[in-house]
Each structure stands twice: as C-alpha cells, then as structure tokens.
Amino acid sequence: MTPERLKALTRPPLDMREDLPLEEALALFQRHYRKMAIVNDPRGEWTGIITSEDVLEEIVGRIGDEFDAARTEASIQLADALTPGRVVLELQAGSMREAIEKIVAAIPAKDFPADPQTIVRAVQEREQTMTTYLGKGLAVPHGRLDKLEKPLLVFARCAEGIPQNDTNERADLIFLLLTPSGMARIQPRLLADIVGLIDSDYVTERLRKATTPEEIIEAIRAGQQVVLD
C-alpha cells in the first residue's frame, strides 16, 4: 500500500507530521473540514494514517482513564467552568489580539483569579504558538496560569465576526479557556468538548440567538449532554 494508492481509495486527506501535537491536529481537521490525514516522518515519507476520531479518542482516553482517580476527579463540565459574569454577548474587535484584550477587560474582577494583564499575556503568548481558530466560526484562545486551581471558561459572541489572518473566514463564537499549569492534559479534553458542541447545529443556533448569559450556560449544558448521549 503506497501513499498514492491510499489517497486514491479515500476522500482527500491532509498531510501531517509525526511530531504534530494532538491539539494542532484537531485544529487542522476542524479548519479544513477533513476527517483523515496521511502521517509523514521527518524525511517526508509516509508512516501511517490518522483520523479526527483517532485524535479525539486519544485525547479523551488519556484524560478519562477510569483507572486513574486523579484524572477522573480533575474532569469538569464546560458549563460548570462558566459563570454569567464571564459571558460577553456584544463583543466588537478587529483582530483576535484585540478581542482577547476586550474580553478580559469586560469581565468583573471577582470572576477572574488573576489580574487582567497576567491573563491577557498568558493567552496571547499561547496564541503565538498555535492558532486559536478551529473553523465554523469558532475560536478558542487559551492560556495556562500557575495559580489557577481549576479550569475557567469565558464565552464571547461577536456579531460581525473577527477576521482571521490570511483567510476570508470570521470567528463569531469565542471560548476563552484558562487551565492550571499543573493540569495540562485537561486542556485538550475541554477543547474536544467545545468542538463537539460546535458540531451540533442545534447548539450553535442557541448560542447565536441567546439574549442572556444564563441562556448561554444552559445551551452549553444541554448541548454537551446531547453530545455525550
């Protein structure tokens, strides 16, 4: 089985490096609306295949191991990581960098565990290492904080959409995710949960039409239950 023969038998796949982090692989699948990729080694030779389902199972499997009590206790539902004070429904921004600054500035101090500049810096530094846009109007800027005890989520909605570099796409749904530095594995799990929500037209419609923070939280809670079922 050669790469050429395999490509002829499947729908158009992506090409991915062997050392590509799972988070970036998931982002590529979402952005290009593909389900499979050819995996290449550093010499550019084909070594295998990977699907979007493989990535999600690897992420969920590593974190949801029922034999690892510490990981099980660290799991959290998206809706439980969100509060009404961390919902911004009328965001206006011309770039993702500006959006991050405005989102953090709009959140009451009592709803954040660190000063705004620390949060902005952590998220923007993370953004420089990997894209935050996952396609379908969804962006998930995220950062890790040393003093954070549990994951924290912020939701923002931008009616006009935030332009994405080098594309004609815009992000109108933004989930800003903060995770503790010592819980690195839970970040990909929550990212996968967010992607699962956005795959549902039912959930995205509710998120785009909600008029109150409480409606946003309820849409996320109900949507995640639908995904799990």
* Lookup result for tokens 């493989």: 54
User: What is the pLDDT, as a whole number, of residue 61?
Assistant: 47
- pLDDT tens series, the chain, 229 aa: 677 776 677 677 889 998 888 888 888 888 888 888 989 988 888 888 888 877 876 665 444 444 444 444 445 788 888 999 999 999 999 988 899 999 999 999 888 877 888 889 888 888 777 667 778 888 899 888 887 888 889 999 999 999 887 678 899 999 999 888 777 667 777 888 888 888 788 889 999 999 999 999 999 988 876 555 4
User: What is the pLDDT, as a whole number, of residue 64?
Assistant: 43
Spatial distance between the Cα atoms of 48 and 25, rounded to a whole number of angstroms:
14
Spatial distance between the Cα atoms of 6 and 142, rounded to a whole number of angstroms:
36
User: What is the pLDDT, as a whole number, of residue 59?
Assistant: 61
- Nearest Cα neighbor of 138 from 100, 56, 190, 195 is 195
pTM for the structure as a whole: 0.67
What residue ranges define each of the domains in the chain, with the CATH number in brackets? Answer: 3-61 (3.10.580.10), 68-228 (3.40.930.10)
Q: Would you say 96 and 175 are in contact if contact means Cβ atoms under 8 Å apart?
A: no
User: What is the pLDDT, as a whole number, of residue 158?
Assistant: 94
Q: Would you say 153 and 81 are in contact if contact means Cβ atoms under 8 Å apart?
A: yes
What is the separation of C-alpha 120 from the centre of its chain, rounded to a whole number of angstroms? 17
Spatial distance between the Cα atoms of 225 and 77, rounded to a whole number of angstroms:
10
DSSP 90: S
